[in-house]
Amino acid sequence: MYHVIGRPRTGTTILSEYAAVANKQKWYLEFFLDTYKIENGKIVEHEHPIGWNAKNGFKRLPYQVEQKFEYLENLKQQGKMIPFKIFPYIFIGSEYEDRLYDLVKDFKLLTIMRDPLDTFLSYSYQDITGWQTPHRTIKNNVDTSIDKCYISIDSIKLYINRFKREEEFLSRLNYHHIFNYDDINDKHLQDFFGVKIKEWNFPMNIDYRSLIKNIDAVEFAFEELYHGQVDSNRI
């Protein structure tokens, strides 16, 4: 059974949809995504879809991280694992990091590599604009009026710190297959999995560089900070 682990804005949603069909499932579950808060020293997720029901749509419940781990660990122990997608970042450096590694280390894992700067631009633009124009959109529901925005240089430092900590964890895992971002399209995924899925949305192929008003400064600062060549007088 395939499982997807990675980071936001790399194509994990469409990959997970194909993996679920290849797993002979109609759906997959999303665990440990990016919406979370700390309560009494514990990581707690906000409301998130935990399952698909054809009649009622996604069922949303506030679900504590500890409960999710117990749920997945019990399924694994019983040999009844379900397809899932995980973003590991919230656990890096926490009490749950090793527990997550032990949970997924022997699964048939899929992940996606995308250029760090492209990933940052995509994530930052969507975050700044409130995710109003996601990269994939429902057919016949396209908003062609896409606003431009500025990206704070300070946000680059925070993102790169996150990215590198995330990369350290992801590099510990053994993968069944690592996709390049350019491979995340219907033709390549159909060839890889040998299945087709119902195409209810399509990529908008957004050129994020053209939407960032201070793109030159952002690109320069990102490259300097990412490669550790920081000159505070220049950034």
pLDDT in tens, 25-63: 877 888 877 566 666 766 666 555 444 444 455 555 555
Q: Please name which of 65, 64, 67 lies closest in space to residue 97, comparing C-alpha atoms.
A: 65
Q: Please name which of 162, 151, 145, 146 lies closest in space to residue 128, comparing C-alpha atoms.
A: 151
pLDDT band at 143 (very low <50, low <70, confident <90, very high): low
- How distant, in Å, are the alpha carbons of 61, 108, 121, 148, 157 from that of 207? 35, 33, 10, 11, 23
Amino acid residing at 234? R
Predicted confidence (pLDDT) per residue in 64-112, tens digit: 788 888 889 999 999 988 889 999 888 888 888 999 999 999 999 999 9
Q: Please name which of 84, 106, 97, 103 lies closest in space to residue 43, comparing C-alpha atoms.
A: 97
Domain coordinates in residue numbering, the chain? 2-226
Global model pTM greater than 0.85? no
User: Under a CB-based contact definition with an 8 Å cutoff, are residues 6 and 123 in contact?
Assistant: no
* For residue 212, pLDDT beyond 80: yes
Radius of gyration of the chain from its Cα atoms, rounded to whole angstroms: 19
Q: May I ask the CATH architecture of the domain 2-226?
A: 3-Layer(aba) Sandwich (3.40)
Give the rounded percent of residues in the chain with a pLDDT score beyond 70.
77
Predicted confidence (pLDDT) per residue in 7-24, tens digit: 989 999 899 999 999 988
Average pLDDT, the chain: 82
Q: What are phi and psi of 89, to 5 degrees?
A: -55, -40
Token pair of 129 as six digits: 């604009």
